Chains A and B, each alone.
Chain A
Amino acid sequence: MKRRDFLNYSGLGAAGMFLQGMPMVGNIISAEEALNPGADTAKKKQMADVALNAARSKGATYADVRIGRYLNQFTVTREDKVQNIVNTESYGLGIRVIANGSWGFAATDQLDNDSIAKAAAMAVSIAKENARLLKEPVQLAPQKGYGEVSWKTPIEKNAFEVPIKEKVDLLLGVNDAAMKAGANYITSLLFLVNEQKYFASTDGSYIDQDIHRIWPAFFVTKIDAATGKFETRNSLSAPSGMGWEYMSAKPADKIKSVTTLYRNSYDMLEDAKLAGQQAGDKLKAKSVEPGKYDLILDPSHLWLTIHESVGHPTELDRVLGYEANFAGTSFLTLDKWQSKKFNFGNKLVNIKADRLQPGSLGAMGYDDEGVKCGQWDIIKDGILVNYQTIRDQAHILGLNASQGCCYADSWSSVQFQRMPNISLQPGKEKKSIDDLIKNVEKGIYIIGDGSFSIDQQRYNFQFGGQLFYEIKNGKIAGMLKDVAYQSNTQEFWNSVGAIADASDYRLGGAFGDGKGQPPQSNSVSHGSATTHFKNANVINTARKIG
C-alpha cells in the first residue's frame, strides 16, 4: 500500500503530516503479537552466518548483516473518538558488502537459508556492477569484533505492555481536558517504537540490541467563529528514548514558567488543559511588530534550531558532498575545521555529540556498522572542532576509528551517516529562566517548536514556535502571535548572551528526521538549557487572502 494510502485509510491522515518520513512499511499485527520475543539470538546468529559466508564465497572482502524486527504502535484519537489503533511489525534481513572495492546492498523478508544466500549474492553482484564507476575503493576504518554482546534501552516499563484501553482512556481524557479548556478540535496520539536489531560482520561482531522510543503528542485548534480566525497549539512533550515511565509526570520534572515545562517525564493531561486555554489566548494576542528583538528560547523550541543549524551542517557526508543532490551540502567545509579557529559561535557555545545520553532518542550501545557508541565535542568554546563520521569517512578526518554515526531506518534500507544526539551544554554560572528574562529590555520568549526552514548549506534559517511572550524591561508583558525569526547560523550562535545552568537542561527531539535517497528516517534528541540570543530579526507572518 502506498504510504499516503496507509495514512488515509488507517485514520492517521490527520496526524500523518506530523509523521513525515516515518517508515510505514510493515505488517499489521495484534498488540499481543508485538510482545512475542521474536527469534532468539542463536537463530539470528545462524542466519547471519549464512549471509556472511555466502557473501564471502561470492567474493566480498567485507560484509555486514542486519536482522531487524521493527515494531510500531500508533494509538490515534480525535475529540471523543478513537481514530485508530495500529500495531505493525517489519521483519527481515539486509546485507551490505564490499566487493571489488565497491559497496553493494540487498535485502529480503524471506528468511530461509536459500533466500538469505540469494540476497547476499545479489549484494555482491550489485557491488561488482558498480565497481566500474568508482574513483577509489572504499576505505574502512579498522574495527575490532566484539564477539557476542548485547545492549538494551534502560526502560522502567515497556510501553507495548501497557493495555490499549489504558492508552485510549488517557488520550480521550487528554482530549476532554483540552475541549473543556476551550479547544474546538484536538487530535492526540501515542507512537511507540521498538527496534530489535541483530548485527553481525566479518569483523567478528554479533550484536543484539533492543531499543525503545515513545512519543505522546497532540494538536489543538481553536476557532473564533465571528472572525473565522484560527490558532493551533501543539503539545510540549519531547519524544524520548524511554518506556511508559515518561508518561508518569514527577513533580520534580515540572518547571513552572509562563506555562508548565517538562524535563524527563510528561503530564499530558495538564499540558492539554493549558493548550486549550492558550490556543484561545493566541486568538486574542497582539500581532508582533516586526523588528529586532532579543530572544529567550526554551529547550522545547531550541532543540529544533540546534538540530537544523548545528546537527545537519556537522554531518561529514554533507560536508563532503554525498548529500548534494537532496539534503544539501554544508557551510562547515573542511578548511574551517582545519583552521582550528573558525568561530561557529562565541565562547559560551559548547556543543557535544552523544550517542549514550540516557532518555535520548539517539541512545544505543552500538551503531548499525558495529561501532561502540560514545561522546565527543563538536563545538568547543565556540570553535568548530569535529564532525559526525562513519567507518568509510574516518580516514578523511585522520581518525583511526569511526565515531559510530551509522544508522538505517529498516532492515531493508542501507545504513549511512546519521546524526547522533547533538546538544548545547548548559551555562557554567548559576542562572535560571527568570535571570535570563530580567536582563532583556526588548525581547520575545519562545516556547515549543513550530514552522522551520533552512537553506541547503545551513546558513539562513526561519523558525516559528508554539507560544510567544513579549518581554519589556525584564518582565513578561503579554502574549504575541504571528512571530517568526530569521537569522544566519554563525551570526546567531555568536549572539548568545547567556545560557541557563544545568538545572534547566532538557531534551527535545525529532522522531522522524529525513535524509538520503531514497529518504530514510532517524530519531535524534537535542538538549539545551534556556538560552538568550541578542538582537535577532523578527518578522510578522500574518497575511490576508480572498
Chain B
Amino acid sequence: MPFLTEEQAKALMTKVLSYSKADECEVNLSFSDGGNIRYARNAVSTSGAIGQSSLVVSSAYGKKLGVATINEFDDASLEKVVRRAEELAHLAPENPEYMPMLGPQVYAAPTKTFEPATAAIDAKFRADATQQSLKVSEDNKLVAAGYLENSAGFNAMMNSHGLFAYNTSTNVNFSVTLRSPDGKGSGYATKGYTNVAQLDVAAATRVAAQKAAASVDARALEPGKYTVILEPAAGVVLLEYIGQGMDARSTDEGRSFLSKPGGASKLGEKLMDERVTIYSDPANSILPTSVWTGDGRPQEKVTWVDKGVIKNLSYSRYWAEKKKVKAVPGPDAFIMDGGNQTLEQLIASMEKGILVTRLWYIRMVDPQSLLLTGLTRDGTFYIENGKIKFPVKNFRFNESPVIMLNNLDALGIPERVVSGESFQHAVVPPMRIRDFTFSSLSDAI
C-alpha cells in the first residue's frame, strides 16, 4: 500500500465498512516507511529499510468483540478481514468492560506532525549523516558508535457510527556515543525531531566528543546525598514514570503512588514543589503530537501536575463511565515547564554538586513510592563554585521522582529530548535538585 492521502484513506475505509454485518465496526489503518543505519568502532555496522502497513478491523456483536488485521488491500482481502473479525467476535466471550464505539468527534486543527523533508530521507542521506558523525569522531581521535533512524507514515480510523480521523507524522532520531580509545572516557548525545532540518548530526557528535574527552580519568566520590543538575536527557527517564503513572484505575484500585487508604486518591493534593507543572498539549510547537488517540478520543491540552498539585488522572472509557467523569486519555508526550536559565547558568550559580548528563537502566523498585534505581552514564562531573572541576566515577542512585520534585532547587529552559529508556519524546528542563540519593559507586565508563 502506498502513502494514502486523507481522501484515499477515507475511500478505502468506507469500502471496508461497507462489508460489515456486525452491530458495530471500526477500522484502523496505518502505514509507515523508514530506514536506519547503525555504526560502531568508527565504521558502519548494520542498516536496513522496512515498510509496513496494517489494516485492523474490530467488529462487535453486543459486548462481544473480534479483531483481525491484514496487510493486503485488494477487495477480496478487505472483505475477508471483515468476515474474520466477525467470526472472532461470535467466538469471543462477552467482555463486561466493552464500551460501544464512539460517534463522530470534534478534533482540534491538525498539528504539524509531518515534515516532507523528513519523509524524503533515503539510504544516501543516512550514510552521509553517518560520515559527518564519523569525521567528528576521527578528528577528535575518539571511537564512535551511533544510530540514526527515520520514519514517515499515516494513521487513520473510521467506524460505523461516523467517526473519522486521519493524521500524518514523521520522526527522525539520532544518538551517538563517543569513547576514548583506551575506554577511560565516554560521552553521549541524542536528538529527536519531527523536522530533519533541525537535526545537526555533526553538532550533536561534537557535544558527545566534548563529554568523552572531559570524562577521562574520573575520580571517585563517596556515595551519599548530593545537589545535582540533571540535564534533560537524564531527567526525562525519571519524569516519564510520573507521566506514565497517572492512570486513574490503578489509583482507585489502591495500587499506585497516587492511591490513599480506603480507595481514595491524591488527586487535588500538592505532592511536589510549586514550580512543578507538567502537561500535555498536541499543539505544542516544539513537540507537536496527534490531536486524536488510537481509540478515537480527542487529544486535548491537559495539565497533569499544576504548581505541584495533582490535577488530572487519565481514564479508559470504561473506567471513566464507571466513575462518571470525563474520559481523559493518557498523554502522547509530556511537557514540563521550566525557568529562564540556561544549563550553563545553572552550573555557574551552583556552589557545589554533581552534573549528571545521562541516566541509564532505570527500574521501578517500589511502585508505592515510585522509588526508582539506575546509574549515571557517559559523563558525570563535580561542580564547585560555579565551575566544572573534574569528572567523577558513575553512581547508582535510588530515588523517587516525587521526592526529587519536592527537593527542587532551580529549573532551566525546557528542550525537546528523547528518552534513552522508552524512546518517547518529551519537553523537559534541566533541573537542579537537592539531596539526590546516590547509593553506591560503579566502575563502569
Contacts and interface: CB of A to CB of B under 8 A. Distances in A.
B444 A460 contact: yes
Given A105-B46, A132-B127, A229-B368, A320 B67 contact: no
A495 interface: no
B274 interface: no
A252 interface: no
A106 interface: yes
Nearest to B330: A8
Interface stretch (B110-118, B143-151, B275-283): B143-151
A486 interface: yes
Contacts of B367: 230, 232
Contacts of A229: 368
Interface in A212-239: 221, 223, 225-230, 232
Contacts of B257: 545
Interface residues of A, number: 85
A104 B127 CA distance: 12
Contacts of B442: 455, 459-460
A290 to B, nearest CB: 10
Interface stretch (A80-88, A174-182, A353-361): A80-88
B39 to A, nearest CB: 7
Interface stretch (B4-12, B196-204, B355-363): B355-363
B369 A545 contact: yes
Interface stretch (A43-51, A321-329, A470-478): A321-329
B366 interface: yes
A130 interface: yes
A513 to B, nearest CB: 13
A344 to B, nearest CB: 15
B361 A455 contact: yes
Contacts of B312: none
B269 interface: yes
Interface string B424-445: 0000000000000001111111
Interface stretch (A23-31, A266-274, A504-512): A23-31
Given A322-B145, A460-B440, A546 B402 contact: yes
A185 B253 contact: yes
B373 A453 contact: yes
Contacts of B440: 460, 462, 486, 537
Given A1-B294, A321-B145, A412-B50, A331 B124 contact: no
A133 B41 CA distance: 11
B337 to A, nearest CB: 21
Given A9-B295, A453-B362, A517-B36, A133 B43 contact: yes
Contact of A130 (B30, B127, B400): B127
A452 B372 CA distance: 10
Contacts of B366: 482, 541-543
A310 B443 CA distance: 16
A518 interface: yes
B97 A126 contact: no
B134 interface: yes
A28 B68 contact: yes
Contact of B147 (A30, A230, A326, A328): A326
B311 interface: no
Contacts of B123: 125-126, 129-130
B66 to A, nearest CB: 9
Contacts of A1: 28, 30, 54, 56, 294
B424 to A, nearest CB: 9
The interface centre, meaning the residue of A85, A320, A455, A541 with most chain B CB atoms within 10 A of its CB, is A455
B42 interface: yes
A460 B396 contact: yes
Given A225-B262, A412-B50, A452-B363, 16 more contacts: A9-B295, A10-B67, A28-B69, A103-B45, A103-B47, A106-B49, A133-B131, A226-B262, A321-B41, A324-B40, A324-B179, A326-B420, A329-B179, A333-B183, A453-B363, A455-B444
26 contacts: A1-B56, A2-B294, A5-B294, A8-B295, A28-B67, A81-B95, A85-B92, A103-B45, A103-B47, A105-B46, A105-B47, A107-B50, A129-B124, A130-B47, A133-B39, A133-B43, A185-B253, A223-B253, A225-B254, A324-B177, A457-B444, A462-B365, A464-B365, A486-B396, A546-B266, A546-B402
